[in-house]
Amino acid sequence: MSEAIQKRWHELLAERDFAKNHSGKVVLTFRFNSDGSVTDMRVEENEVTEILALLCQRAVLDLAPFAPWPNDMRRTVGADFRNVKYSFHFK
């Protein structure tokens, strides 16, 4: 999941050349559900522009839904969701 999000984020940035002169980070939180869906997304921290924060959200949401969790993952997590904190760093 992480590699796919990073790849999509880099694609979105390259399409628009938005991050050229920015540095800082965006931190998103969201609920990753066992059916592969992503819900309850929030921007927890934004040190760049609102547009760049929206691109970070798109990098996740464009890929959703992800594959449903295997039964072993559900047992390991012990719930039908996992709260995720994901950071994007601009240099």
Domain boundaries, the chain: 2-90
Is residue 91 pLDDT above 90, yes or no?
Answer: no
Structure tokens at 44: 């927890």
What are the tens digits of pLDDT across the range 5-56?
Answer: 999 999 998 887 766 778 999 999 999 999 999 999 999 999 999 999 999 9
> At residue 63, what are phi and psi to the nearest 5 degrees?
-90, -20
pLDDT score of 22: 84
Q: Which CATH architecture has domain 2-90?
A: 2-Layer Sandwich (3.30)
pLDDT score of 19: 66
pTM, to two decimals: 0.91
DSSP 19-64: TTT--EEEEEEEEEETTS-EEEEEEEEESS-HHHHHHHHHHHHTT-
Residues near 16 by beta carbon (within 8 Å), at least 6 away in sequence: 55
> Which residues make beta-bridge pairs with 88?
26
